[in-house]
Amino acid sequence: MRLPLATAAAAVLAFGLAGTGLSVGLPVGAGLSGLTGPSGPDGLSGDAVLGTVGLYECPDDDADDAGARCGTVPVPLDYRSGAGTLGIGLEWYAAPGDAVGTVVAVAGGPGGSSTKDRDGFLDLFYQLEGWNLLLVDLRGTGTSGALHCDRLERFFTSDDEDYVAAVGDCGRELDRTWRRNGERFLPGSELFTTANAARDLDRVLDRLELGQIDLYGVSYGSYFASTFAARYPHRVRSLTLDSSYQIVDLDPWRVTAVTTSRTAFDQVCTRSAACAAAAPGSSWTRIGRLAQRLRSDPVDGDVPVPDGDVPVTVDIGALVTLVNAAGGDPIVYRELDAAARALLEHDDAVPLLRLASVAAGFGGDEDISHFSTSLYSAVVCSDYPQLFDPRAGRGTRERQLDDAIAARAERTFAPFTVDEWFSYSGESYVDCLHWPAPDNDDLPLPDRQSLAAAGVPTLVLSGDLDTITPAVDGRRVAAQLGRSARWVRVHNAVHGTALWDIHDCAGRLVREFVRQPAGLPTMDTSCASRLPEIRAVASFPPRLADAEPSTAAAGGTTDRTALQLAAVAAATVGDAIEQYWYVLDEEVGLRGGRVEITDSEVVRFRFRQTRFVSDARMDGTATWDPVDGAVSAEVTITGPDRIAGRFEISWSHHQPHAVATVVGTVGELVVRATMPAP
């Protein structure tokens, strides 16, 4: 499945290939010509040894600060011929004291760097006392020869013919990059398969002289982990597949993405008290009405950002992209329904334009240390089923693709047409149309091998709001694995249930399973049904008079305007907390003003003339503790005719069905009010 193309700030050493437009990033101290022994930066001997691998001070300061040692293991570039050598980069985090075992954690993509995702993996496993943590960049990513087809890495979006052409060019460049014995070219376009990556990890574990590992994979990492466990079951003590999708019988259309979207948007609204009260009925139906509007009448405007304004257009393609992004971005779930209603009912495009400007973007960054689009294409075009025969000629492929589209029922992706979904969903339906035909098959699983044959204890985690790797797919994977597997659906969770789990339910389940894989059948997973809901926005009122008032509590005024001021003040705080995930340092209010952010153990917000509605501005401060969820604010909000409210606001961000309390004054009026936490 395609994820947004990640961006990165760090540089990676690259080996230029003259005249090809292609460069292949190399791990420090490694070369495609091979290694004669363990080496560190600049080929120096490592200062420690694990098995037969020299470990050295990590060149990445973040890894070094976290206590890692780094290493490189040489593997064959081409396992069939034995030609060429590629360095596989790793980070080793030794357990304090005597180690019980080793967790190997693998990032998603394909194309993501496991070592660049170290913060998430360290957060997930730091409480797992007695276990080492090993991060290995799969071939073609990060410190393991990150692929960089120059033209392809510079694409900002991937929904046009030029992108498809760039993918094909990348494959042909790979086929003209490495020579066997200085003569015949190696088939580079088919050397970066999941199967080869699994062979690499087997070599790495041999060289490190490790026993059985506890293998964790997220998203595509779960695809890789399933492949590795099926091929090398003796290596794996436990297997965790987080946000998993199928190797066996993967549908090339991935229809479960849209069928999950239809229910997920409705579930988000009905589970959220504010949305359910403000907008009874079906969120998906309202999104359908928005699609109809945008199809004939797109909206555009300037979205203010700290450095100026960004012009944004929201058309039917942008809406398809947003719907698909929701499975990995809870803020899209939180805002899209209310943004649709703002446009349809008030002709107010501001919330929708802002959402489209910050969500579902592609990277457009040539840095490949975090994510290689070139490697993504090499894996997808080699391993994933296509809507055409990859061995056929170009004309035949195009006819087969046209026939597949024509045969697809038009309402499959309703309210979107097949063509709209095909063009803008982000799925790789057409990317591989010009990829070189393979000389050999190197599929993830050998012929007639089943996942169940491995018999490895396996925990399969699925977020019930995940449309990237939908829960129905995870359940099928667990069934294919047989009696050794247990599937757990995590309610109110999106893609990457344990890796980005601020509530630490899925994370605790992973750690408990690793400690005692044999206890999987009876493990208490009840927390997975108790995660707090995504609090969908009730509405985006354009003006104060349009806002739903908060509910007066005992001893407080029932004046409507005062209660509206209280509600808008709380909504402004809630909006700033959610937008924090996008901006991290400084925000522009929905309708103007600024929010300055100080990011430490407790996140602090300073509001400066911040406007959630057009005719009320707010100043003051708020704090949010990401660990325990406590939110508190002291603010002053001034509305039309200079009516002003001074409020103290509090709620628990992590509490299911949380209620916000607002206490203060508006002129001579005493306000004591409650409302669903924003």
pLDDT of 466: 98
Question: How do residues 382-404 score in pLDDT, each as one tens digit?
Answer: 999 999 999 999 999 999 999 99
More confident residue, 69 or 127: 69
Please report the beta strands in 115-201, taking only residues with DSSP state E, as ranges in sequence order. 131-136, 147-149, 179-180, 184-185
Residues of the chain with pLDDT > 70: what percent? 91
Q: Residue range 19-31: average pLDDT? A: 29
Contact (CB, 8 A) for 271 and 535: no
Q: What is the DSSP letter of 174?
A: H
Q: Residue range 338-364: average pLDDT? A: 86
Regarding beta strands 236-242 and 213-218, do their DSSP bridges make them parallel or antiparallel, or are they unpaired?
Answer: parallel
pLDDT of 225: 97
Question: How do residues 469-494 score in pLDDT, each as one tens digit?
Answer: 999 999 999 999 999 999 999 999 99
CA separation, residue 256 to residues 1, 185, 250, 263, 594 (Å): 12, 40, 11, 11, 40
Cα separation, 561 vs 274, in Å, equals: 19
Contact (CB, 8 A) for 484 and 456: yes
The pTM for the full model equals: 0.91
Indicate whether 94 pLDDT > 80.
yes
Q: Across the chain, how many H-helices and E-strands are there? A: 18, 26
242 has which bridge partners?
A: 218, 461
pLDDT of 367: 66
Indicate whether 467 pLDDT > 90.
yes
Indicate whether 72 pLDDT > 60.
yes
Contact (CB, 8 A) for 54 and 45: yes
Give me the chain's average pLDDT, please.
Answer: 90
Indicate whether 206 pLDDT > 90.
yes
Band of residue 13 on the pLDDT scale cut at 50, 70, 90 = very low
More confident residue, 254 or 156: 254
Residue ranges of the alpha helices (H) in 359-505? 373-383, 394-407, 418-424, 471-481
Cα separation, 146 vs 6, in Å, equals: 14
Q: Could you tell me the sign of the dihedral formed by the alpha carbons of 140, 141, 143, 147, in that order? A: positive
CA–CA–CA angle 171, 172, 178 (5° rounding): 95
What helix, strand, coil percent values describe the chain, rounded to 5? 35, 25, 40
Cα separation, 469 vs 472, in Å, equals: 8
Whose structure tokens read 């020579």? 179
And the tokens for 62?
């973040």
Q: Supply φ then ψ for residue 60, to 5 degrees.
A: -85, 115
pLDDT of 426: 82
Neighbours of 410 (CB within 10 A): 9
Which of these, 498, 398, 477, 400, lies nearest to 161 by C-alpha position? 398
Cα separation, 272 vs 342, in Å, equals: 18
Cα separation, 36 vs 102, in Å, equals: 27
pLDDT of 15: 23
Question: How do residues 264-287 score in pLDDT, each as one tens digit?
Answer: 999 999 999 999 999 999 999 999
Looking only at Cα atoms, what is the longest distance across the chain? 88
DSSP assignment of 354-366, as one string? HHHHHSS------
And the tokens for 100?
């019980």
pLDDT of 33: 31
Whose structure tokens read 């964790």? 216
Q: What is the DSSP letter of 315?
A: -
Cα separation, 244 vs 251, in Å, equals: 14
pLDDT of 447: 75
Indicate whether 303 pLDDT > 60.
yes
Indicate whether 362 pLDDT > 70.
no
pLDDT of 88: 98
pLDDT of 46: 60
Q: Supply φ then ψ for residue 43, to 5 degrees.
A: 80, 5
Q: Residue range 205-223: average pLDDT? A: 97
Contact (CB, 8 A) for 238 and 104: no
Contact (CB, 8 A) for 477 and 426: no
Contact (CB, 8 A) for 575 and 350: no
Indicate whether 158 pLDDT > 90.
no
Q: Is residue 487 classed as helix, strand or coil in its secondary structure?
A: strand
Regarding beta strands 644-652 and 659-666, do their DSSP bridges make them parallel or antiparallel, or are they unpaired?
Answer: antiparallel
Residues of the chain with pLDDT > 90: what percent? 81
Indicate whether 571 pLDDT > 90.
yes
Question: How do residues 420-456 score in pLDDT, each as one tens digit?
Answer: 999 888 888 999 999 999 988 899 998 777 888 889 9
Specify the range with the lowest mean pLDDT, choosing from 9-18, 23-32, 485-494: 9-18
Indicate whether 517 pLDDT > 90.
yes
Q: Residue range 117-143: average pLDDT? A: 96
Q: Is residue 282 classed as helix, strand or coil in its secondary structure?
A: coil
Contact (CB, 8 A) for 451 and 226: yes
